[in-house]
Amino acid sequence: MADQEADFLRLDKFLVFARFCKTRSVAEALVEKGAVRINRHPTDKPHAKLRPGDVLTLALPQGIKVVEILHLPARRGPATSAHEMYREIQ
């Protein structure tokens, strides 16, 4: 079962683990208002599955960010490791 969990990660969890949002409830609100796209497709589902290679477009209060997911974390870690899980495209 651990291998299946490593294949994907919920969108709301990724946003928290990668430090785009402070809590899952903030991440859920961001997704539900339509501020997130996965591979150019809008989503309003916080439970959407993310995999390495997916591209997220985020409309954050600080501006638009486009990032490619490089790997999925097991938990929220320090800020330095959070930046290693994605590559900023724009």
**Residues facing residue 88 across a β-bridge:** 67
* Residue recorded with tokens 């930046």: 83
All structural domains of the chain: 2-88 (3.10.290.10)
CA distances from 34 to 4, 18, 48, 63 (A): 28, 19, 13, 15
User: What is the arithmetic mean of pLDDT over 32-51?
Assistant: 96
| Average pLDDT value for the chain | 91
Residue 1 has pLDDT above 90, yes or no: no
Prediction pTM value: 0.89
% of the chain beyond a pLDDT of 90: 79
pLDDT of residue 29: 96
pLDDT tens by residue, 2-36: 444 458 999 999 999 999 999 999 999 999 999 99
> Cα separation of 90 and 1, whole Å?
35
